[in-house]
C-alpha cells in the first residue's frame, strides 16, 4: 500500500457531474503532476461527502478542509497554495458563516460511515474498510434463524416510510418452503424531497449488496432484484460495477465462501411512477406490468414476485444490516431510542444555511437537526414550517420543533417520519401554496386503480386550486379534509391514504392562513 501526505476526496455525484467534475479531476491530476506532487497527494473520486456545497466539492485530509463550488480555473491556485505551501484557499472554503457551522458527525454514522471516505467503485476499498465481514459471519458462523434473531434484537425498522420491523418481516418468509424465494430492494425513491437512497447507493454500493445477501441467507432466497428508478443513472452504473466486482471475487455466485449458498443480483430499472414505491406495485412493475398495487393479503412475504415468497426492503434498511451482523445488535442498540433504534439518514432542504444530508440517531429533535446539522436558517430567514416525510408527510409548525424524530414520537402528533425528507419553509412562503403543490403531485401520481384515490385526488386538486385563487370558502377547506379522510379509509394502497396527513396538518396548524385567503 502506498502512503500519501494528503488525500483529496472529490465528490462524484449527479450535481458535480453536471458541473463537469470529470474534466476537473483530470485537470487537477495534471496540475499536481506538473508540480511533482503526484506521489504525495492522492486524488480520490468518491461519493457524497456529507455536506452539500454547490457544484464541485472537495474534502482535503488530514486537514479536513471542505471546498465548494471549485472551478477548473481555481486549480493552479489550489495546488500552489494549499497542496504545495499548505495554506488553504479561504475564498473557496465551505461557507460556515451564520450562527452555527454544520456538524459533520462522522463518528456516529452507520449507513454512511464509508461514504465520502472510500472509493465507491472499488471493492478492495470496501473490504479494506471492513466490508463483507458481516456476510462472511452470516454465511460461516450463523444459522439463518440466528441472523433473523439478531436483526429482530437490533430493533431495525423499515426505512422506506412505514417503519415495520425488518426482522419480523423476514420471519414471515423464512419458514416457508418454496422452490424459489426473492429479495427485492426498493430503490424506486420518488418521495419528493428524498434522495437518501441515491446517496447511500452512490457512496457505498457494496454495502447494499452485502445487506441484500445477508437478508437472502436469512430467508433462504437465491435471487435478488434491485428495482431502481430510471433517473438514477450514476447509481445504476455504480451498482452494476459493484455487482460485477462481487462476481469476480466470488462473493456473488455459487457456493459462496464454501457455505453452499448460491446467490445473484439483477438490476431492474423503473420508468417513472411514484406508486411503484408501494411494494406490491413494485412487484407488478418487476413482472413487466403497469404498476397497480395488489390486494393484501397475501403479503409479498408469502406471495410476491411470480407468486414466490418475496422480501421487499428499502435501500436504507438493508444498508443497516451489514453493521448489525458484523458488530452485533448490542452495538447497534447504542444508537437511537428504545422503540426506534439506530440512525436515520435525513435530507434537509429549503431555507436552511446548509441544505444536505445527515445521518443521526433516531429520536433527535427537529430543532437540533435544523440548527446543528443544517447550520440553522439561511441568513435573513425565519422558520415557519417544515414538511417532514415528503408529499406523504406532514407540515409541522415551530411549536412542534422539539418533537423527537422517530416513528413512535411522531405518531403522537399524527405525523410520520416517512422517508426522512425535511423541507424547511420560511415565513414568507404560503402554506396554501405548498399544499397546492402537494395535491397537484398526488393528482398526477394516483395510479387510477381505485375510485377513492382516482377521483379524490382530482377533487382535492380542484378545491385547493379554487382556494389558492381566493375563490374558496372555509366550507371548501372542510370538504377537502372530509374527502381526504374518506380516501384514507377507503383507498386501496398507501398513496390514496396519504394526502390526509398534509391536509390535516396544514389546516390544524395554519388555520389562520386558510381563513385569510377564503371568502367570508
Partner 1 sequence: MYKEICQKYAPNKDNLIQILHEIQDTHPQHYISPEAVDAVAEYLKVPANHIYGVLTFYTMYSTSPRGKNIIRLCESPPCYIKGSDNILRKLKSALGVGVGETTKDGQFTLELCACLGVCGNAPVMMINEDVYGDLTEEKVDEILAKIRGTK
In three-state secondary structure terms, 186 is strand
Q: Candidates 212, 251, 286, 386: give the one binding partner 1 (CB under 8 A).
A: 286
Cell numbers representing residue 109 in the block = 454514522
CA distance 116 to 44: 9
Judged by CB under 8 A, does residue 68 bind partner 1? no
52 binds partner 1 (CB under 8 A): yes
User: What cell was used for 3?
Assistant: 502512503
Strand pairing report for 394-397 and 383-388: antiparallel
Q: Is residue 350 near partner 1 by the rule CB under 8 A?
A: yes
- Binding to partner 1 by residue 268, rule CB under 8 A? yes
Which of these ranges, 106-114, 152-160, 387-395, 460-468, lies near partner 1 under the rule CB under 8 A?
A: 387-395
Asked if 272 interacts with partner 1 (CB under 8 A), we say yes
The answer to whether 212 and 318 are in contact (CB under 8 A) is yes
Binding mask 205-234 for partner 1 (x = CB under 8 A): ------------------------xxxxx-
387 binds partner 1 (CB under 8 A): yes
Q: Considering the rule CB under 8 A, would residue 192 count as an interface residue with partner 1?
A: yes
**Residue among 317, 389, 392 nearest 110 (CA):** 317
Residue 288 region, left (φ>0) first, then alpha (ψ -120 to 50), else beta? left
289 scored as a contact of partner 1 (CB under 8 A): yes
Q: Judged by CB under 8 A, which stretch of 255-263, 408-416, 421-429, 457-465 contacts partner 1?
A: 421-429
Distance in Å, CB of 219 to partner 1, minimum? 21
CB 343 within 8 A of CB 360: yes
Distance in Å, CB of 231 to partner 1, minimum: 5
- Window of 30-38, 59-67, 166-174, 187-195 that interacts with partner 1 by CB under 8 A: 187-195
Work out the angle at residue 423's Cα, subtended by the Cα atoms of residues 420 and 424, and round it to the nearest 5 degrees: 130
- Per the CB < 8 A criterion, the answer to whether 102 and 51 are in contact is yes
Q: Measured on CA atoms in the order 191, 154, 150, 327, is the torsion positive or negative? A: positive
Is 445 a binder of partner 1 (CB under 8 A)? yes
**Which of 4, 7, 17, 327: binder of partner 1 (CB under 8 A)?**
17
Cross-strand pairs, 165: 157
292 close to 259: Cβ distance less than 8 angstroms? no
Whether 31 and 44 have beta carbons less than 8 Å apart is answered as no
Q: Can you read off the three cell numbers belonging to residue 34?
A: 506538473
Rule CB under 8 A: which of 424-443 touch partner 1?
Answer: 425, 429, 433-434, 437-438, 440-441
Q: Which stretch binds partner 1 (CB under 8 A): 10-18, 173-181, 256-264, 473-481?
A: 10-18
Residues near partner 1 (CB under 8 A)? 14-15, 17-18, 52, 54, 189-195, 198, 229-233, 268-274, 285-291, 347, 349-350, 355-357, 387, 390-391, 421, 423, 425, 429, 433-434, 437-438, 440-441, 444-445, 447
Amino acid at each position: 500500500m502506498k502512503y500519501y501526505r494528503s488525500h483529496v476526496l472529490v465528490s462524484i455525484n449527479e450535481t458535480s457531474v453536471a458541473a463537469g467534475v470529470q474534466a476537473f479531476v483530470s485537470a487537477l491530476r495534471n496540475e499536481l503532476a506538473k508540480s511533482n506532487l503526484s506521489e504525495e497527494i492522492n486524488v480520490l473520486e468518491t461519493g457524497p461527502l456529507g455536506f452539500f456545497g454547490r457544484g464541485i466539492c472537495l474534502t482535503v485530509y488530514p486537514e479536513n478542509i471542505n471546498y465548494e463550488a471549485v472551478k477548473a480555473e481555481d486549480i493552479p491556485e489550489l495546488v500552489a497554495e494549499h497542496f504545495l505551501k499548505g495554506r488553504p484557499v479561504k475564498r473557496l472554503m465551505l461557507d460556515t458563516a451564520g450562527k452555527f457551522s454544520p456538524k459533520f458527525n462522522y463518528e456516529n454514522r452507520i449507513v454512511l460511515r464509508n461514504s465520502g471516505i472510500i472509493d465507491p467503485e472499488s471493492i478492495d476499498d470496501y473490504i479494506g474498510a471492513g466490508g463483507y465481514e458481516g456476510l462472511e459471519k452470516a454465511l460461516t458462523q450463523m444459522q439463518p434463524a440466528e441472523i433473523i434473531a439478531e436483526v429482530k434484537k437490533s430493533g431495525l425498522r423499515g426505512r422506506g416510510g412505514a417503519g415495520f420491523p425488518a426482522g419480523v418481516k423476514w420471519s414471515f418468509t423464512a419458514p416457508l418452503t418454496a422452490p424459489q424465494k426473492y429479495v427485492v430492494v426498493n430503490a424506486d425513491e420518488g418521495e419528493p424531497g428524498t434522495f437518501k437512497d441515491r446517496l447511500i447507493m452512490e457512496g457505498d454500493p457494496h454495502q447494499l449488496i452485502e445487506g441484500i445477501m445477508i437478508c437472502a441467507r436469512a430467508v433462504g432466497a437465491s435471487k435478488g432484484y434491485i428495482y431502481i428508478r430510471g433517473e438514477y443513472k450514476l447509481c445504476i452504473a455504480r451498482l452494476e460495477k459493484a455487482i460485477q466486482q462481487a462476481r469476480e471475487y466470488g462473493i456473488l455466485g455459487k457456493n459462496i465462501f464454501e457455505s453452499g449458498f448460491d446467490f445473484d443480483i439483477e438490476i431492474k430499472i423503473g420508468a417513472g411512477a411514484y406508486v411503484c414505491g408501494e411494494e406490491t406495485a413494485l412487484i407488478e412493475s418487476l413482472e413487466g406490468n403497469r404498476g397497480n398495487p395488489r390486494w393484501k393479503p397475501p403479503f409479498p412475504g408469502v406471495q410476491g414476485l411470480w407468486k414466490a415468497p418475496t422480501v421487499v426492503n428499502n435501500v436504507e434498511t438493508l444498508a443497516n444490516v451489514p453493521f448489525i451482523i458484523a458488530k452485533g445488535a448490542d452495538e447497534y442498540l447504542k444508537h437511537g431510542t428504545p422503540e426506534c433504534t439506530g440512525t436515520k439518514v435525513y435530507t434537509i432542504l429549503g431555507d436552511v444555511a446548509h441544505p444536505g444530508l445527515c445521518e443521526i440517531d433516531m429520536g433527535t429533535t427537529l430543532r437540533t437537526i435544523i440548527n446543528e446539522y443544517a447550520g440553522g436558517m439561511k441568513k435573513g430567514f425565519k422558520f415557519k414550517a417544515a414538511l417532514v416525510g415528503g408529499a406523504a408527510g406532514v407540515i409541522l409548525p415551530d411549536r412542534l420543533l422539539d418533537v423527537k424524530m422517530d416513528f413512535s414520537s411522531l405518531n403522537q402528533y399524527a405525523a410520520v417520519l416517512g422517508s426522512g425528507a425535511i423541507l424547511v419553509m420560511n415565513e414568507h412562503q404560503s402554506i396554501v401554496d405548498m399544499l397546492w403543490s402537494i395535491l397537484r403531485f398526488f393528482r398526477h401520481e394516483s395510479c387510477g386503480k381505485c375510485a377513492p384515490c382516482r377521483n379524490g385526488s382530482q377533487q382535492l386538486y380542484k378545491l385547493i386550486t379554487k382556494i389558492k385563487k381566493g375563490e374558496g370558502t372555509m366550507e371548501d377547506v372542510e370538504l377537502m379534509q372530509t374527502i381526504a379522510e374518506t380516501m384514507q379509509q377507503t383507498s386501496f394502497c398507501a398513496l390514496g391514504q396519504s394526502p390526509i396527513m398534509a391536509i390535516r396538518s396544514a389546516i390544524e396548524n395554519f388555520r389562520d392562513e386558510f381563513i385569510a385567503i377564503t371568502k367570508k
